[in-house]
Structure 1
Amino acid sequence: MKIENPFESGHIRNYILFYASVIVIMILFFLATTLFHDVKKVEKKKFDINSSKVMLTKKTKQKEEPRFKLMQKAY
Structure 2
Amino acid sequence: MIKFKTNPFESGHIKNYMLLYVSVLVIMILFFIASELFIEPKEIEKKVFKTDKNTAEVKPVKEEKEEEFKPKFKLLEQGY
Taking structure 1 as the reference length, the TM-score comes to 0.50
Which structure's CA Rg is the greater one? Answer: 2
Taking structure 2 as the reference length, the TM-score comes to 0.47
